[in-house]
Amino acid sequence: MTAARERVNIYRPILVRVAAVREESADVRSLVIAGADGEFPEWRPGQFAMYGVFGEGECPLTIASSPTRGKLVCTFRKAGRATRALFDLEVGDVFGIRGPYGNAFPLDEWQGRDVVFVAGGIGLPALRSSIEYVLDKRSDYGTVTILYGVKQPRELIYREEIDQWRCAPSTRVVLTVDPGGETPEWKGEIGLVPAVLEKIVPSAANAVALVCGPPIMIKFAIPALRGLGFALENVYTTLENRMKCGVGKCGRCNVGGIYVCKCGPVFSAAEISRMPDDF
Length of the chain: 279
Other beta carbons less than 10 A from residue 275's beta carbon: 15
Contacts of 269 (CB under 8 A, 6+ apart): 222, 225, 232, 233, 235, 236, 237
Distance of CA 193 to the CA centre of its chain: 17
Residue 74 lies in a domain: yes
Residue 175 lies in a domain: yes
User: Are 112 and 97 in a shared domain?
Assistant: no
Last residue of a domain, one of 101, 116, 142: 101
Residue 224 lies in a domain: yes
Judged against a pLDDT cut of 90, whether residue 258 lies above it is answered with no
**How confident is residue 278, by pLDDT bands cut at 50, 70 and 90?**
low
Judged against a pLDDT cut of 60, whether residue 4 lies above it is answered with no
- Show the CA angle centred on residue 245, arms to residues 93 and 40, nearest 5°: 45
Q: CA 72 to CA 157: how far, in whole Å?
A: 17
Last residue of a domain, one of 68, 101, 134: 101
- Show the CA angle centred on residue 58, arms to residues 242 and 64, nearest 5°: 80
User: Are 97 and 19 in a shared domain?
Assistant: yes
**How confident is residue 3, by pLDDT bands cut at 50, 70 and 90?**
very low
Judged against a pLDDT cut of 60, whether residue 5 lies above it is answered with no
Judged against a pLDDT cut of 60, whether residue 227 lies above it is answered with yes
Asked if 62 and 129 touch (Cβ cutoff 8 Å), the reply is yes
Judged against a pLDDT cut of 50, whether residue 119 lies above it is answered with yes
CATH of the domain at 31: 2.40.30.10
Q: What is the pLDDT of residue 33?
A: 94
Residue 67 lies in a domain: yes
Q: CA 196 to CA 144: how far, in whole Å?
A: 16
Q: CA 15 to CA 248: how far, in whole Å?
A: 22
Q: CA 279 to CA 272: how far, in whole Å?
A: 9
Q: What is the pLDDT of residues 127-181, one digit of tens each?
A: 999 999 999 999 999 999 999 999 999 999 999 999 999 999 999 999 999 999 9
User: Are 38 and 133 in a shared domain?
Assistant: no
Residue 142 lies in a domain: yes
CA-only gyration radius of the chain, Å? 19
Residue 259 lies in a domain: no
User: Are 124 and 185 in a shared domain?
Assistant: yes
Residue 127 lies in a domain: yes
- Show the CA angle centred on residue 226, arms to residues 221 and 227, nearest 5°: 95
Q: CA 179 to CA 213: how far, in whole Å?
A: 17
User: Are 64 and 134 in a shared domain?
Assistant: no
Residue 257 lies in a domain: no
Q: What is the pLDDT of residues 102-111, one digit of tens each?
A: 999 999 999 9
Domain span holding position 30: 3-101
User: Are 57 and 170 in a shared domain?
Assistant: no
Is the entire prediction scored with pTM above 0.85?
Answer: yes
Q: CA 152 to CA 60: how far, in whole Å?
A: 26
User: Are 124 and 75 in a shared domain?
Assistant: no
Establish whether the linkage from the previous residue to 125 is cis, with ω within 30° of 0: no
Q: CA 33 to CA 99: how far, in whole Å?
A: 14
User: Are 65 and 111 in a shared domain?
Assistant: no
Query: What value does the mean pLDDT take over residues 73-98?
Result: 95
Q: CA 175 to CA 96: how far, in whole Å?
A: 35
**Which residue would you say has higher pLDDT here, 70 or 118?**
118
Asked if 22 and 161 touch (Cβ cutoff 8 Å), the reply is no
Return the H-helix or E-strand segment holding 17: strand 14-25
Last residue of a domain, one of 101, 136, 164: 101
Tally of domains within the chain: 2
CATH of the domain at 199: 3.40.50.80
User: Are 151 and 73 in a shared domain?
Assistant: no
**How confident is residue 37, by pLDDT bands cut at 50, 70 and 90?**
low
Query: What value does the mean pLDDT take over residues 1-16?
Result: 70
How much of the chain, in percent, has pLDDT values that exceed 70? 95
**Which residue would you say has higher pLDDT here, 43 or 246?**
43
Bridge partners, residue 59, by sequence? 51
User: Are 77 and 137 in a shared domain?
Assistant: no
Q: What is the pLDDT of residue 245?
A: 85
Asked if 49 and 60 touch (Cβ cutoff 8 Å), the reply is yes
Longest dimension (CA), the chain: 68
Q: Is the dihedral of CA 188, 189, 194, 200 positive or negative?
A: negative
User: Are 68 and 177 in a shared domain?
Assistant: no
User: Are 21 and 91 in a shared domain?
Assistant: yes
